Chain A
Amino acid sequence: MAYSDKVVDHYNNPRNVGSFGKDTPGVGTGLVGAPECGDVMKLQIKVNLETGVIEDAKFKTFGCGSAIASSSLATEWLKGKTVDEAAKIKNTDIVNELKLPPVKIHCSVLAEDAIKAALADYKEKSATTAVAAASK
């Protein structure tokens, strides 16, 4: 099976590989997939607490080339979006952009799950922070 040029590009030059400290304020972390399935993605966002804009995003992925490309692309798209805008990223957008074949669609689904998990984690943490602040 041949890979699309965009998948090859993201595989060879992955954008935003790395990690943020999980407990850093404004950071949301999503860890999805399972080692036994052959795909695990960790996707992190760093949100500006004043503006609600995602200032930075990072990923690490255990998985095939298409999984790496899907998460790399996701971090590119997340940067500069507000939390609400980010929630609108769909796996089909990733499929279209990377021209993923049907057998690789699950990689894009996983990337969408990773985005949702990171956003949920961020929201949960900011809610806890808000509660903590209110009770002071």
Chain B
Amino acid sequence: MALKFPIFMDAQSTTPADPRVVEAMIPYFTEKFGHPASRNHPFGWEAEAGVDVARQRLATLISARDPKELVFTSGGTESINLALKGVAEMYREKGDHIVTTVIEQRAGLDVCKRLERQGFKVSYVPVQPDGLIDVDAIRKAITDRTILISVMFANNEIGTIQDVPAIGKLAKEKGILFHTDATQAVGKIPVDVEAMGIDLLSCTAHLMYGPKGVGALYVRRKAPRVRLAPMIDGGGHERGMRSGTLPVPLIVGFGKAAEIARAEMGAEAERLAKLRDRLQDIILSSVDEAFLNGRPDRRLPQNLNISFAYVEGESVLMGLNKETALSSGSACTSATLEPSYVIAALGASAELAHSSIRFSLHRFTTSEEVEYVGQRTVEVIKRLRDMSPLYELAKEGVDLKSIKWKAE
């Protein structure tokens, strides 16, 4: 198959919608446009039926006991906000302490920072060099005032999959609620809220080949029954937890995406892991001093994150961006001008955080694309190293740490 440019390998930022998803959505814009809360006419019934099917499909995908446990939101960020703020407000009398980790995505960290300003105490558990959170470190952070543990299921940068069942078990043992940000995991790897002891789970459609603008929060109804203070007041939709007219076409698309994911996840994960491993081989076999970030055997199948010593991430992307879309932990690619806090938290030097590149594959990635991107990456790294003063110094045997750098 001929290559089509640009090649998209940034699928942990978003995924293209599956054409089957789009097809399922279309009637809900035009013919079946009713308000699902209109209880007294067929337009409403039809829209409600569409939402019900979607809710059921999503419940099945994450093995929720009851579809009513799913609350539709505008996406992962809103789900995380609702979970954390909703629990904090509702359980404030019980306690004022939250345990989370340093590698949560920004939404999780920023909500925690806000809660701290409001008087809550938050413990940020560090990450081990391999990207895993030590469950014992979570245990040690728990106090008798802890009301919530919030740990991401799989990391957005390095793809590391946490030991969620062990954290769920710990939470049950201590009688503390457990929220997981599963935006990167749902639809990609098996997620079972019952078997894994998850009380709250955030997910989003656009990372699993669904549309942008819709997400969901799973809120356990039994053992324990989780209660949340709503963030948005209004018509009392979604069991009062999230008012606002439901975006029916988006929800229908989310449901379709969940159905496809459930049916195809096994084969897709296997295919993507093989392609990912091939990409990794092409690069690591040709480039010295390239370091894999995150534990190799506990990664999302589509994720590859490598730090290339002595070259800066944005300059790598610039060498490829006409033809390939990738992402970097480099400061120059972030709005905050700070390098990746995830890579930095692994204990790598800040220089390696600036040098990290994330390749993320998706349902429509081909082996031709993988071969091409692998080869081109190798070329670009070699070219940039030829103009890197750090590579030159290192090759001369100079220890870069021995130089007294004059930072700006």
The proximity string for A residues 32-58 relative to B, scoring 1 for CB distances below 8 Å and 0 otherwise, is 111111111110000000000000000
Residue of B nearest to A107 (CB): B332
Please tell me which one of the listed residues A59, A61, A64, A113 contacts residue B314 in the complex, with CB atoms under 8 A apart: A64
Query: Which of A11-19, A81-89, A121-129 forms part of the interface with chain B?
Result: A11-19
- Residue A60 CB within 8 A of the other chain: yes
Q: Shortest distance in angstroms between A56's beta carbon and chain B's nearest beta carbon?
A: 17
- Residue A103 CB within 8 A of the other chain: yes
Contact B390–A11 (Cβ < 8 Å): no
- Residue A63 CB within 8 A of the other chain: yes
Measured between beta carbons, the chain B residues less than 8 angstroms from A64 are: 312, 314-315, 318, 330, 332
Contact A38–B339 (Cβ < 8 Å): yes
How far is B403's CA from A40's CA once the two chains are assembled, in angstroms? 12
Q: Shortest distance in angstroms between A106's beta carbon and chain B's nearest beta carbon?
A: 6
How far is B405's CA from A32's CA once the two chains are assembled, in angstroms? 7
Residue of B nearest to A68 (CB): B315
How far is B390's CA from A19's CA once the two chains are assembled, in angstroms? 12
How far is B391's CA from A40's CA once the two chains are assembled, in angstroms? 11
- Residue B406 CB within 8 A of the other chain: yes
Q: Shortest distance in angstroms between A127's beta carbon and chain B's nearest beta carbon?
A: 21
- Residue A120 CB within 8 A of the other chain: no
Measured between beta carbons, the chain B residues less than 8 angstroms from A59 are: 387
- Residue A62 CB within 8 A of the other chain: yes
Q: Shortest distance in angstroms between A35's beta carbon and chain B's nearest beta carbon?
A: 4
Contact B405–A34 (Cβ < 8 Å): yes
The proximity string for B residues 295-314 relative to A, scoring 1 for CB distances below 8 Å and 0 otherwise, is 00000000000000011101
- Residue B392 CB within 8 A of the other chain: yes
A-B pair number, CB within 8 angstroms: 88
Contact B339–A31 (Cβ < 8 Å): no
- Residue B23 CB within 8 A of the other chain: no
Contact A36–B388 (Cβ < 8 Å): no
- Residue B358 CB within 8 A of the other chain: no
Contact A38–B406 (Cβ < 8 Å): no
How far is B319's CA from A65's CA once the two chains are assembled, in angstroms? 9
Measured between beta carbons, the chain B residues less than 8 angstroms from A66 are: 332
Q: Shortest distance in angstroms between B375's beta carbon and chain A's nearest beta carbon?
A: 18
How far is B408's CA from A113's CA once the two chains are assembled, in angstroms? 10
- Residue B351 CB within 8 A of the other chain: yes
Q: Shortest distance in angstroms between A94's beta carbon and chain B's nearest beta carbon?
A: 15
Residue of A nearest to B319 (CB): A11
Measured between beta carbons, the chain A residues less than 8 angstroms from B332 are: 38, 64, 66, 103
Please tell me which one of the listed residues A31, A33, A42, A61 contacts residue B408 in the complex, with CB atoms under 8 A apart: A33
Residue of A nearest to B328 (CB): A64
Q: Shortest distance in angstroms between B352's beta carbon and chain A's nearest beta carbon?
A: 9
Measured between beta carbons, the chain B residues less than 8 angstroms from A67 are: 312, 315
Q: A33-B405, A33-B407 are in contact. Are A62 and B350 (CB under 8 A)?
A: no
Contact A34–B407 (Cβ < 8 Å): yes
- Residue A77 CB within 8 A of the other chain: no
Measured between beta carbons, the chain B residues less than 8 angstroms from A31 are: 389, 403
Measured between beta carbons, the chain A residues less than 8 angstroms from B400 are: 35
Contact A40–B390 (Cβ < 8 Å): yes
Measured between beta carbons, the chain B residues less than 8 angstroms from A3 are: 318
The proximity string for B residues 50-71 relative to A, scoring 1 for CB distances below 8 Å and 0 otherwise, is 0000000000000000000000
Measured between beta carbons, the chain B residues less than 8 angstroms from A35 are: 349-351, 354, 390, 400, 405
Contact B389–A40 (Cβ < 8 Å): yes
How far is B104's CA from A124's CA once the two chains are assembled, in angstroms? 50
How far is B403's CA from A33's CA once the two chains are assembled, in angstroms? 11
- Residue A118 CB within 8 A of the other chain: no
Measured between beta carbons, the chain A residues less than 8 angstroms from B337 are: 103
- Residue B331 CB within 8 A of the other chain: yes
Measured between beta carbons, the chain A residues less than 8 angstroms from B194 are: none
Contact A36–B407 (Cβ < 8 Å): yes
- Residue B116 CB within 8 A of the other chain: no
Contact B392–A39 (Cβ < 8 Å): no
How far is B318's CA from A113's CA once the two chains are assembled, in angstroms? 24
Measured between beta carbons, the chain A residues less than 8 angstroms from B319 are: 11
Measured between beta carbons, the chain B residues less than 8 angstroms from A68 are: 315, 387
Q: A33-B408, A38-B332, A68-B387 are in contact. Are A62 and B311 (CB under 8 A)?
A: yes
Measured between beta carbons, the chain B residues less than 8 angstroms from A19 are: 392
Task: Apart from A17-B386, A38-B312, A39-B312, list 15 A-B contacts with CB within 8 A.
Answer: A31-B389, A34-B406, A35-B354, A36-B407, A37-B407, A38-B332, A41-B389, A42-B389, A60-B389, A60-B392, A63-B315, A64-B315, A65-B314, A67-B315, A110-B408
Mind listing 17 A-B residue pairs with CB under 8 Å?
A17-B387, A34-B406, A34-B407, A35-B349, A35-B405, A37-B350, A37-B407, A37-B408, A38-B312, A38-B339, A39-B312, A41-B389, A64-B315, A64-B318, A65-B315, A66-B332, A67-B315
The 8 closest A-B pairs by CB, nearest first: A34-B405, A36-B350, A42-B389, A35-B351, A38-B354, A64-B314, A60-B389, A64-B332
A-side residues, CB < 8 A to B, are 3, 11, 14, 17, 19, 31-42, 59-68, 103, 106, 109-110, 113
